[in-house]
Structure 1
Amino acid sequence: MPIALTDSDFWSAFLGGGSFTGRRVTVDAALQLATVWACVRLLSETIATLPLGFYEKLADGSRKPATDHPLYDLLHNQPNAEMTAVQFWEAIIASMLLWGNAYIEKARIGKRIVALNFLLPARMQKRRLLSGAMEYNYRDLDGTQRIIPEDDLVNIPAFSLDGVNGLTPMSYGANVFGAAMATDEASSKVFSSGMRAAGFVKVTGSLKKEQREDLRASIKQFAAGGPEAGNVMVLENDSTYQQLTMNPGDSQMLESRSFNVEEMCRWFRVPPFMVGHSANSTNWGTGIEQQMIGFLTFSLRPWLTRVEQAIRKSLLSPGERSKFFAEFAIEGLLRADSAARAEYLAKMTQNGLMTRNEGRAYDNRAPLAGGDELTVQSNLVPLTMLGKITSTAGSAKSALRQWLGIKNDEDQNET
Structure 2
Amino acid sequence: MSTKKPGRFAQAALRFLGLDGHLSLEPELLRALLATSSGKHVTVDSALQLSAVFSCVSLISETVSTLPLKIYQRKADGSRDVAVKHPLYNLLCRSPNYEMTPSRFMLMIVASICLWGNSYIEIIRSASGRIISLNPLLPQNMVVIRNKTNGMLKYTYTESGVNREITEKNMMHIRGFGIDGVMGLFKVQKARETIGAAQAAEEAAAKFFENGLQTSGLLSAQGKLTPDQRESLRENMTKFMGSKNAGKMMVLENGMEYHGITMNPEAAQMLETRTFEIEEICRWFRVPPFMVGHLDKQSSWASSTEGMNMQFLTNTLRPLLVNIEQEIARCLIGAAEFETYYVEFSVEGLLRADSKGRAEYYASALDHGWYNRNEVRRKENEAPIPGGDIYTIQSALIPLDKVGTNYKGDNNEQTKPAASR
> Shorter-chain TM-score category?
0.7 to 0.9
Cross-structure match for 2:373: 356
1:276 aligns with 2:293: yes
Indicate the SS of the match to 2:348: helix
Select 1:7's aligned residue among 2, 6, 9: 9
Contact 1:125 1:138 in 2 (8 A): yes
1:181 aligns with 2:183: no
69-78 or 29-38, which deviates more: 69-78
Q: CA RMSD in A?
A: 3.3
The residue identity in structure 2 corresponding to 1:147 is E
Q: Residues 99 and 298 of structure 1: is their aligned pair in 2 closer, same or farther, counting only changes over 3 Å?
A: same
State the distance in 2 between where 1:30 and 1:135 align.
29
Q: Percent same amino acid at aligned positions? A: 42
State the distance in 1 between where 2:352 and 2:308 align.
19
The residue identity in structure 2 corresponding to 1:134 is L
State the distance in 1 between where 2:375 and 2:409 align.
29
Cross-structure match for 1:373: 390
Cross-structure match for 1:152: 170
For 1:250-289, what aligned pairs fall within 5 Å after superposition? 250-251=266-267, 253-282=270-299, 286=303
Deviation at 1:326, TM superposition (A): 0.7
Q: Residues 341 and 75 of structure 1: is their aligned pair in 2 closer, same or farther, counting only changes over 3 Å?
A: farther
Select 1:19's aligned residue among 18, 36, 51: 36
Q: Residues 349 and 311 of structure 1: is their aligned pair in 2 closer, same or farther, counting only changes over 3 Å?
A: farther
Cross-structure match for 2:82: 65
Contact 1:334 1:341 in 2 (8 A): no
Contact 2:310 2:350 in 1 (8 A): no
The residue identity in structure 2 corresponding to 1:267 is W
State the distance in 2 between where 1:120 and 1:344 align.
44
Q: Residues 334 and 292 of structure 1: is their aligned pair in 2 closer, same or farther, counting only changes over 3 Å?
A: closer
Select 1:131's aligned residue among 147, 150, 175: 150
- Size of the aligned set, in residue pairs, is 346
TM-score by length of 2: 0.74
TM-score by length of 1: 0.75
Deviation at 1:120, TM superposition (A): 0.7
Cross-structure match for 2:316: 299
Deviation at 1:295, TM superposition (A): 1.5
Q: Over residues 360-412 of structure 1, what are the superposed CA-to-partner deviations in whole Å (9 max), with x where a residue is unaligned?
A: 2233322222122222233369xxxxxxxxxxx999449x88xx9x9xxxx99
Structure 1 unaligned residues grouped into runs of 5+: 198-229, 231-244, 382-392
Contact 2:366 2:391 in 1 (8 A): yes
1:311 aligns with 2:313: no
State the distance in 2 between where 1:291 and 1:364 align.
24
Q: Over residues 148-204 of structure 1, what are the superposed CA-to-partner deviations in whole Å (9 max), with x where a residue is unaligned?
A: 11111100000010112000012111101011011111111001114469xxxxxxx
State the distance in 2 between where 1:336 and 1:85 align.
26
Contact 1:138 1:147 in 2 (8 A): yes
1:94 aligns with 2:111: yes
Indicate the SS of the match to 1:331: coil
Contact 2:310 2:351 in 1 (8 A): no
Deviation at 1:278, TM superposition (A): 1.2
State the distance in 2 between where 1:47 and 1:82 align.
19
Q: Residues 262 and 395 of structure 1: is their aligned pair in 2 closer, same or farther, counting only changes over 3 Å?
A: closer
State the distance in 2 between where 1:394 and 1:274 align.
55
Cross-structure match for 1:210: none
State the distance in 2 between where 1:284 and 1:85 align.
32
Deviation at 1:282, TM superposition (A): 2.6
State the distance in 2 between where 1:329 and 1:249 align.
50
Deviation at 1:347, TM superposition (A): 3.2
Contact 1:190 1:196 in 2 (8 A): no
Q: Residues 265 and 365 of structure 1: is their aligned pair in 2 closer, same or farther, counting only changes over 3 Å?
A: same
Indicate the SS of the match to 2:337: coil
State the distance in 2 between where 1:136 and 1:34 align.
33
Contact 1:106 1:117 in 2 (8 A): yes
Q: Residues 108 and 87 of structure 1: is their aligned pair in 2 closer, same or farther, counting only changes over 3 Å?
A: same
Q: Residues 351 and 33 of structure 1: is their aligned pair in 2 closer, same or farther, counting only changes over 3 Å?
A: same
Contact 2:302 2:308 in 1 (8 A): no
Cross-structure match for 2:129: 111
1:44 aligns with 2:61: yes
The residue identity in structure 2 corresponding to 1:93 is V
Q: Over residues 225-280 of structure 1, what are the superposed CA-to-partner deviations in whole Å (9 max), with x where a residue is unaligned?
A: xxxxx9xxxxxxxxxxxxxx883673361110111011001100111111111112
Q: Residues 192 and 336 of structure 1: is their aligned pair in 2 closer, same or farther, counting only changes over 3 Å?
A: farther
Cross-structure match for 1:82: 99
Q: Over residues 282-313 of structure 1, what are the superposed CA-to-partner deviations in whole Å (9 max), with x where a residue is unaligned?
A: 39963766444322211111111111111111
Select 2:344's aligned residue among 311, 320, 327: 327
Q: Over residues 91-120 of structure 1, what are the superposed CA-to-partner deviations in whole Å (9 max), with x where a residue is unaligned?
A: 111100000000111122222212211111
Indicate the SS of the match to 2:81: strand
